Structure 1
Amino acid sequence: MKKIRITIINGSYHQKGKTIGIANEFTSLLEKKLYKYTLVINRIELNNSKLETCRGCKNCFSNGICRLDKIDDMHKIKRILCMSDVVIFSSPVYLKMITASMKLILDRLAYWTHIFKLHNTLGIIVLSAATSGINETNAYLMDILSHLGISVIGTIYNDIYCEKNYTNFEIDRIATMIERIIKGKEEISNDLLERYFKSFQYVYKEFVKNNKYDAEINYWLQNDYLSKKTYLQLLEDNDGENVDDE
């Protein structure tokens, strides 16, 4: 039986809060909908993780290595992400933004946004808020996750002044899409991913012309990204696991 590796990244500070409750309920329903598969579920509780804040040293951009990985849990989180088929980003909305702990790990993944490190990964966004801020937070996450190479296939949200804003229909739609993608009958790429890929590709081609090299450009060259006509071609040619090669 084929395994689907799902990782829940919980940015909430409340272990029994609404946000993680939605993510857990959604995952349970996914298990029922995808009963033909073995779901391997990892949960990353950011509030219980040892995480250093980004120092802005830019070593990751130039050398491809974050020095802080040696002293906290980020390297472990990166490896789990690289092994995941589906990642659920779960966060309450604080002042029209994700929580500080989730923003922290995205800051630490900044250099991955230049190399589409998590291509072939599906993303699901789970948010809860008191009326406002959901649209802004969702748009932010969609943008950052797409830069990471993640194909976001759905957002599930809860407004605390309503009973539920997500439906079984939406869960069915996401579960069906996951199954179709796994079977190779649904494209992972989308307009946003294609646009970002072409933009970076243009910039890095210019860098190569001018003999400017760093870890990011070397990554593109080593993985033959510059020769790809589309992001979809990259996905098709690199079908498989995202390997943590740090």
Structure 2
Amino acid sequence: MDFRVGVVLGSGHGYHGTTGRLVTDLLDLMRARVPGDSLVVDTVLTTELDLGPDCPACLSCMTAGEAACPNFDAAAPARRVMDGADLVIFATPVHSFQISASMKRFIDHFAYLIHRPAYVGRPAVLLSTAAGGGHDAALDYLSTAVRRWGFHTAATLGVNGPGLSRETYRGKVDRALDDIAAKALAAPGQGEPKPSTADLIGFRVAKILVDGGRDEGPVDAAYWDERGWFEAQWWTAQKPPFFANRIAALVEKKIRKGIAEGNADPYRA
């Protein structure tokens, strides 16, 4: 039985750059753990998606459905890779302490998934490489973005590119990759993990946005109605942790009150 891995690679150097080589190393370790040619890899390079200079922010994907996006056909290769995968590897170089511009453009074009998550229960591995620092910001953002689409992170790794030339550091990276390879292969069979407090707050905020936008975005509301999510506490039927869910409920109540009374405060850090 095939194990399908989708790779979304946000590097302009493709598999020839440091990020691409890190992905290759991980895939090689995964192949070594499965029989024959059962590991099937499908890749999309974000730099090769003809998405224009940026997302037009027209909100058509949310109000009229993703097919209404002017770049719907151009984004199709990425959609096929994610749809067909048992696990998706999202990999990006760190550019100026964040994900690459092409990876950000890719994420922006799938913004409707924040309202209509399609990958609940699907595991992801997040990788980044940098000449210096910035892994925390880049990987945290990437983790938050794909979590809102339904993915849960099975493993994360940030690597210093120049450090790979040093034997000691290279050895640590290799051991980390070997550990991640095992976790990645096991992840699809382990199911959706228990949601965190942040997950549950994100679910409830999405519920508020979709419910409050029924008139402007009936597509979103219909998606939620079909799945019974307006009456649910989480995407799946599993019972959320009590205290985390209680905190999320209180946050939801506060947000709804602020919206109803018009007294929500602007963000001032």
**TM > 0.5 between the two?**
yes
Task: State the partner residue of 1:241.
Answer: none
1:33 Cα offset (Å)? 2.4
* 1:123–1:150 contact (8 Å) kept in structure 2: yes
What do the CA deviations read for 1:35-81 (whole angstroms, capped 9, x no partner)? 489221001122233223311111111111343235x5202321321
Structure 1 match to 2:62: 61
- Distance verdict in 2 for CA 1:159–1:181, change over 3 Å: closer
- Residues 202, 57 of structure 1: CA spacing in aligned structure 2 closer, same or farther, 3 A cutoff? closer
Aligned to 2:199: 193
1:165-186 alpha-carbon deviations (Å, 9 max, x no partner): 75344334434434444334x5
Computing the radius of gyration from Cα coordinates, the structure with the larger value is: 2
Asked whether 1:10 is paired with 2:14, we answer no
Gaps of 5+ in 1: 236-246
Query: Does residue 1:31 correspond to 2:37, yes or no?
Result: no
1:129-188 deviations in Å (ceiling 9; x for gaps): 12221111111111111111110111122212312475344334434434444334x543
**Which segments of 5 or more consecutive residues in structure 2 lack a partner in the other structure?**
240-269
- Aligned partner of 1:177 in structure 2 is 183
Quick check: 1:113–1:147 contact (8 Å CA) kept in 2?
yes
Q: Which residue of 1 aligns with 2:43?
A: 43
The verdict on how the C-alpha distance between 1:169 and 1:194 changes in structure 2, with shifts beyond 3 A counting, is farther
Higher relative contact order (CA closer than 8 Å, sequence separation 6+): 1
Moved more, 137-146 or 32-41: 32-41
Aligned CA distance change for structure 1 residues 14 and 69 (closer, same or farther; 3 Å): same
Which whole-Å CA distance do the structure 1 matches of 2:208 and 2:238 have between them? Answer: 15
For residues 95 and 84 of structure 1, the distance between their equivalents in structure 2, rounded to whole angstroms, comes to 30
> After alignment, is 6-15 or 186-195 more displaced?
186-195
Counterpart of 1:118 in structure 2: which amino acid? Y
Supply the AA of the counterpart residue of 1:97.
Q
**Aligned residues, how many?**
230
Partner of 2:118: 117
- Paired with 2:38 and 2:218, the residues of 1 have a C-alpha distance of 40
2:131–2:162 CA contact under 8 A, matched in 1:
yes
From the superposition, tell whether residues 87 and 182 of structure 1 become closer, same or farther in structure 2 (CA, over 3 Å). closer
Q: CA deviation digits over 1:182-223, x for unaligned, max 9? A: 334x54343143332233235545667xx7752111111122
The equivalent of 2:262 in structure 1 is none
Alignment-mate amino acid for residue 190 of structure 1: P
> How far, CA to CA, are the matches of 2:122 and 2:89 in structure 1?
11
Q: CA deviation at 1:23?
A: 0.5
Is the contact made by 1:181 and 1:188 (CA closer than 8 Å) also made in structure 2?
Answer: no
- Using the size of structure 1 for normalisation, the TM-score is 0.81
The percentage of counterpart residues that share the same residue type is 20
Residue aligning to 2:223: 219
Specify the alignment match of 2:21 in structure 1. 21
Check conservation: 2:210, 2:217, Cα contact below 8 A: no
Q: From the superposition, tell whether residues 36 and 114 of structure 1 become closer, same or farther in structure 2 (CA, over 3 Å).
A: farther
RMSD: 2.7
Structure with a larger share of its residues in helix? 2
